[in-house]
């Protein structure tokens, strides 16, 4: 992030614009949303600028910029539609100490103006650092259609009530009050009785919240899916939005952690397949400790929490402490890997059951029903199996599986760095060693990529 977004107070501030035509008028339209004092320098101003000057909206000085013209200006826009004049004006303004924007010249600018969605006092600023203006406009259009037009009215009424709401203790209780107002009570009151009803609504709501008993903490055990944030369920998203504390595993992708509230406490329980990590007791203790203090805890696990996630041990710890909990399922790695291969997990005539196996358990490489797994047509997703590939291969061949049985390793399924390593039972250990994956890997026994060469590069491009 080269450009750091901030919101600048322009109340009474001096803003100088150099330019007498369309580019300058476009900037003025934005600046008119603010209470800035605007001065425009233009050697040959367009009639619209004269009209604005007559209406008292700008001070118009009908000559080109000179040294000292931008003294005491907080912001300066070079908007002449003329590169030489813009360069000259920008240099003068910079010498005068103003922060400079040179329209359509990223490198000549000290700041850039974002695309905006205006529901004042709610303002959303969208920037792409000049990389993709079209994308910024698309995001803006998307937000415009999703943010209710009455948001500004609700927020203004809310703003006037902020002092009164301090009767509620800071943190969770106050947050719940505001969430109730913005999500439910406020929009409903506005719809029924208009803006005039909002102060009364806020007061009634505050009285209700002041009278309510302190809410007990609880824990949601939430599946974060295989990594692509778009594969998060709507419910998981909502819970992340509300959480006071998020305790997550190592495999939960950073893009998903970004979705937690900014004030939420993030704790990495960092369990590694083979390495050191926070013990199960510690995790249990942490969840109980925070929930007992009234916090909403999200225990975020990769994939589905009920698949090789040691869920039961955590539920036992919560039950022992009498803490309320709920499970929010997620998309497990096997589903994401199959999708990546363009294959289904079950198929008429091929396999009527699907096995989810772990390649290793507490005692090391895990023993399985090898005879059943060795039958032709078997499909099994083997979690944490990459290191045990040679062991798996030995057991399966010994029980009669064909050396040419397809086995496909999928690394980072659903993520930008997704990789598909198509192999067979005979070649698996060597192929894995050659590929040297460093992300999470799931082995799909009995599945080969569908139309591998044609299909996969395209899929990966889309994900990137």
Q: Which is closer to ligand SAH, CB of 102 or CB of 383?
A: 383
236 binds ligand SAH (CB under 6 A): no
Q: Which of 384, 392, 444, 445 binds ligand SAH (CB under 6 A)?
A: 384
Q: Which of 413, 422, 428, 444 binds ligand SAH (CB under 6 A)?
A: 413
* CA 213 from centroid of its chain's CA atoms: 33
Q: Identify residues 34-93 at the interface with ligand SAH (CB under 6 A).
A: none
Burial of 161 (0-12, 13-18, 19+ CB in 10 A): buried
From residue 199, alpha-carbon distances to 206, 255, 452 in Å are: 11, 38, 62
As measured in angstroms, the least distance from the Cβ of 413 to ligand SAH is 3
Instruction: Choose the stretch contacting ligand SAH; rule: CB under 6 A; options: 7-15, 16-24, 126-134, 405-413.
Output: 405-413
96 binds ligand SAH (CB under 6 A): no
273 binds ligand SAH (CB under 6 A): yes
Instruction: Choose the stretch contacting ligand SAH; rule: CB under 6 A; options: 12-20, 82-90, 205-213, 410-418.
Output: 410-418
As measured in angstroms, the least distance from the Cβ of 301 to ligand SAH is 6
Q: Which is closer to ligand SAH, CB of 14 or CB of 301?
A: 301
309 binds ligand SAH (CB under 6 A): yes
Quick check: is 249 catalytic? yes
CA–CA separation, 430 and 390 (whole Å): 9
As measured in angstroms, the least distance from the Cβ of 433 to ligand SAH is 17
Q: State residue 268 phi and psi, 5-degree precision.
A: -95, 110
As measured in angstroms, the least distance from the Cβ of 327 to ligand SAH is 12
As measured in angstroms, the least distance from the Cβ of 268 to ligand SAH is 15
383 binds ligand SAH (CB under 6 A): yes
Q: What track of x and - describes contact with ligand SAH for positions 415 through 434 (by CB under 6 A)?
A: x-------------------
Closest to 270 (Cα-Cα) out of 280, 261, 260: 280
As measured in angstroms, the least distance from the Cβ of 345 to ligand SAH is 13
456 binds ligand SAH (CB under 6 A): no
Q: Which is closer to ligand SAH, CB of 286 or CB of 341?
A: 341
Q: Which of 18, 80, 101, 414 binds ligand SAH (CB under 6 A)?
A: 414
Q: How many residues bind ligand SAH (CB under 6 A)?
A: 25
351 binds ligand SAH (CB under 6 A): no
Residue 155 CB: number of other CB atoms within 10 A? 16
Q: Which is closer to ligand SAH, CB of 187 or CB of 306?
A: 306
Q: Which is closer to ligand SAH, CB of 177 or CB of 308?
A: 308
338 binds ligand SAH (CB under 6 A): no
245 binds ligand SAH (CB under 6 A): no
Active-site position among 271, 369, 417, 427? 271
CA–CA separation, 144 and 239 (whole Å): 25
Q: Which is closer to ligand SAH, CB of 220 or CB of 244?
A: 220
Q: Which is closer to ligand SAH, CB of 20 or CB of 223?
A: 223
Q: Which is closer to ligand SAH, CB of 20 or CB of 227?
A: 227
Residue 67 near residue 95, CB atoms below 8 Å: yes
Q: Which is closer to ligand SAH, CB of 152 or CB of 329?
A: 329
Quick check: is 271 catalytic? yes
Tell me which residue has its CB nearest to ligand SAH: 303
449 binds ligand SAH (CB under 6 A): no
Active-site position among 86, 228, 249, 304? 249
Closest to 418 (Cα-Cα) out of 430, 393, 435, 404: 435
As measured in angstroms, the least distance from the Cβ of 304 to ligand SAH is 4
User: Pseudo-torsion of CA 374, 377, 382, 385, nearest 10°?
Assistant: 50
Residues that bind ligand SAH (CB under 6 A): 226-227, 251, 273, 301-304, 307-309, 332-333, 336-337, 383-384, 410, 412-415, 440-442
The catalytic residues are 249, 271
């Amino acid at each position: 992030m080269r450009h750091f977004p901030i919101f600048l107070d322009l109340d009474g501030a001096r803003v100088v614009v150099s330019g007498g035509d369309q580019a300058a008028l476009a900037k003025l339209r934005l600046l008119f949303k603010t209470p800035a004092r605007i001065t425009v320098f233009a050697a040959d101003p367009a009639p619209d600028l004269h009209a604005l000057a007559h209406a008292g909206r700008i001070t118009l000085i009908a000559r080109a910029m000179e040294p000292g013209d931008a003294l005491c200006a907080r912001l300066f826009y070079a908007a002449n539609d003329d590169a030489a004049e813009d360069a000259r004006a920008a240099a003068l303004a910079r010498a005068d100490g103003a922060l400079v924007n040179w329209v359509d010249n990223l490198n000549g600018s000290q700041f850039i103006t974002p695309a905006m969605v205006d529901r004042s006092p709610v303002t959303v600023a969208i920037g792409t650092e000049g990389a993709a203006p079209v994308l910024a406009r698309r995001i803006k259009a998307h937000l415009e259609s999703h943010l209710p037009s009455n948001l500004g009215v609700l927020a203004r009424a809310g703003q006037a009530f902020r002092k009164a709401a301090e009767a509620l203790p800071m943190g969770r209780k106050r947050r719940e009050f505001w969430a109730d107002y913005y999500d439910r009570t406020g929009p409903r009151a506005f719809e029924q009785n208009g803006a005039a009803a909002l102060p009364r609504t806020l007061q009634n709501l505050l009285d209700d919240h002041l009278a309510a008993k302190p809410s007990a903490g609880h824990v949601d055990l939430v599946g974060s899916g295989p990594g692509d944030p778009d594969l998060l369920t709507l419910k998981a998203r909502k819970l992340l939005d509300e959480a006071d504390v998020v305790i997550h595993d190592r495999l939960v992708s950073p893009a998903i952690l970004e979705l937690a509230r900014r004030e939420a406490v993030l704790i990495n329980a960092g369990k590694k397949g083979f390495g050191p990590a926070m013990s199960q007791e510690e995790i249990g203790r942490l969840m109980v400790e925070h929930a007992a203090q009234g916090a909403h805890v999200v225990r975020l696990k990769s994939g589905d929490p009920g698949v090789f996630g040691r869920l039961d041990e955590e539920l036992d710890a919560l039950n022992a402490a009498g803490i309320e909990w709920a499970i929010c399922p997620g998309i497990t790695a096997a589903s994401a890997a199959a999708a990546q291969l363009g294959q289904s997990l079950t198929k008429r005539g091929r396999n009527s059951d699907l096995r989810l196996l772990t390649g290793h358990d507490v005692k090391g490489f895990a023993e399985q029903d090898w005879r059943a797994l060795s039958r032709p047509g078997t499909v099994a997703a083997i979690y944490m199996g990459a290191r045990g590939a040679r062991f798996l291969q030995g057991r399966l061949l010994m029980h009669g599986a064909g050396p040419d049985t397809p086995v496909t390793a999928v690394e980072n399924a659903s993520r930008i760095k997704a990789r598909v390593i198509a192999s067979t039972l005979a070649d698996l250990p060597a192929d894995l060693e050659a590929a040297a994956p460093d992300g999470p890997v799931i082995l799909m026994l009995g599945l080969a990529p569908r139309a591998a060469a044609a299909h996969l590069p395209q899929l990966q491009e889309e994900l990137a």
